[in-house]
Amino acid sequence: MTTENIRTYDVIVIGAGPVGENVADRTIAAGLSTVIVESELAGGECSYWACEPSKALLRPVLLRADAVHVPGLDPAVKGPLDAEAVLAHRNRMSADWKDDGQVEWIKSAGIDLLRGHGRLAGEREVSVETPEGDIVRLRARHAVAVCTGSRAALPPLPGIEHLRPWTSREATSAQRPPRRLVIVGAGVVGVEMATAWQALGSRVTLLARGDGLLPRMEPFAGELVTERLREAGADVRFNVSVVGAERVGGGEVRVTLSDAGEVTADEILFAIGRAPRSEDIGLGAVGLEPGGWLATDDSLTVAAVPGHWLYAVGDVNRRALFTHQGKYQARVAGSVIAARARGEQLDTGRWARHSSTADVEAVPGVVFTDPEVASVGLTVREAERAGRDVEVVDYEIGHLAGAVQYRPDYRGRARILVDRGRQVVVGATFVGPGVGELLYSATVAITGEVPVERLWHAVPAFPTISEVWLRLLEMRRDS
């Protein structure tokens, strides 16, 4: 029998991924009673099907790629990876898809957790259908934060429901390498999974609709990643798309391509983008279109809903689809909710406490391929579109003593963009082994708007790869 009860909190959070957990952590710290509603695993996509498992798959691959070129280590690491051991490590890093640890943290933080499917039911109201079939009505005194994230998008191919394709979830949780894997998509998920599964023994075919990989980044990033993937044995094809695909006799996948070619594989992974998890969360009850992205202002408030009570934080608002950026938004949103609850005026200026300015000006990201790609701020293409007058400064990272110490055959490239008028860095891209650790320095330079003349006084230690900053500044001075 279905029962119904009503509970009241200061704040209701829909979604217990890293974003929802951080919103709740900030509102609890502000003294606001908070409940999180979660329909799957507490910890969300990042913990079980994205960041954690994918990096667990990739870390052995990248470590081996470096070690095989280091004198003294090379004979010991030239054999194939132990796929079984790598996958077992991935399982541990994904907590074997159990959320006990996350639930324990939520409770220890003083946050209530309600299992079930949450739907908006009106102003400051959420209806939750529990796994037992009961209905719990939640009412918020101050705010409801939608933190439901995103899911993998699938193409409108005829018969796709019978194809049983992989998405990012299957690609990060598979328990054995497929003998042949076709990956459709040239973005981060596509290139990372190509890197991982090729190294674990799959024969990978990567299909890109455009003329390069990682199309949103500087072109040289995709070029270097393409070169290495091909050296590793992957078949990388450009300017081609899938026009049809079917499972033959329930087994292998036969893929028909736009150039009239055909590829046969054991599995097909579609890595063509993300879609919002908003199709069944009650958006119609508050006048919004179900299934759409939730647009917000810089305070993460859903502008289309009056009353300043509804917030959309993380992927679902489409501002910047990264876990770390969603957690940043959560910290901002938590501060906004607390300020409004106390009747305080918001400080929403550029880089202010209640404004998620970094979503627009300084979004950092790392692609964990061989070589790694790290970027923050503008690319040349984005600067041109925005009409920004920038100086472009490039440097070959492999010329650094620190890079050669890291890997004797080091190849990589660094680029910074300097605003000519303001004389500050507005974009940076690094490609090469280990460059992910350079990214925070670039992010600080951009968010802090450090004048390039002051950057001269930030001395990099020798011999490290961070000395690339000095070389970039020298290249700019000499030009």
List, for residues 353-371, the tens digit of each pLDDT value. 999 999 999 999 999 999 9
pLDDT at position 2, please?
57
Query: Which two three-digit tokens encode residue 34?
Result: 């908070």
Helix (H) or strand (E) run with residue 118 in it: strand 117-122
Q: Residue 436 to residues 139, 374, 429, 448: CA-CA distances in angstroms?
A: 43, 5, 10, 19
pLDDT band at 3 (very low <50, low <70, confident <90, very high): low
Helix (H) or strand (E) run with residue 111 in it: none
What does the alpha-carbon distance between residue 184 and residue 157 come to, in Å, rounded to a whole number? 13
150-170 confidence digits (pLDDT tens): 999 999 998 898 899 999 999
Residue 296 has pLDDT above 50, yes or no: yes
What does the alpha-carbon distance between residue 415 and residue 4 come to, in Å, rounded to a whole number? 59
Query: Which two three-digit tokens encode residue 77?
Result: 């690491």
Q: Which amino acid, residue 28?
A: I
The set of residues, in sequence order, having a beta carbon less than 8 Å from that of 70 and lying 6+ positions away, is 407, 408
Beta-sheet strand order (sheet of 413-419)? 365-367, 372-377, 425-432, 413-419, 390-396
What does the alpha-carbon distance between residue 280 and residue 217 come to, in Å, rounded to a whole number? 33
What does the alpha-carbon distance between residue 370 and residue 374 come to, in Å, rounded to a whole number? 12
Please classify residue 146 by burial: count the beta carbons closer than 10 Å to its beta carbon, then call 0-12 exposed, 13-18 middle and 19+ buried: buried
Please classify residue 357 by burial: count the beta carbons closer than 10 Å to its beta carbon, then call 0-12 exposed, 13-18 middle and 19+ buried: middle
The answer to whether 120 and 316 are in contact (CB under 8 A) is no
189-198 confidence digits (pLDDT tens): 999 999 999 9
239 secondary structure, DSSP code: S
Residue 329 has pLDDT above 60, yes or no: yes
- Rounded to 10°, the helix 18-29/323-341 angle is 30
185 secondary structure, DSSP code: -
- How many Cα neighbours within 13 Å face the side chain of 222? 20
Residue 1 has pLDDT above 50, yes or no: no
The answer to whether 222 and 215 are in contact (CB under 8 A) is yes
Residue 20 has pLDDT above 50, yes or no: yes
403-423 confidence digits (pLDDT tens): 999 999 999 999 999 999 999
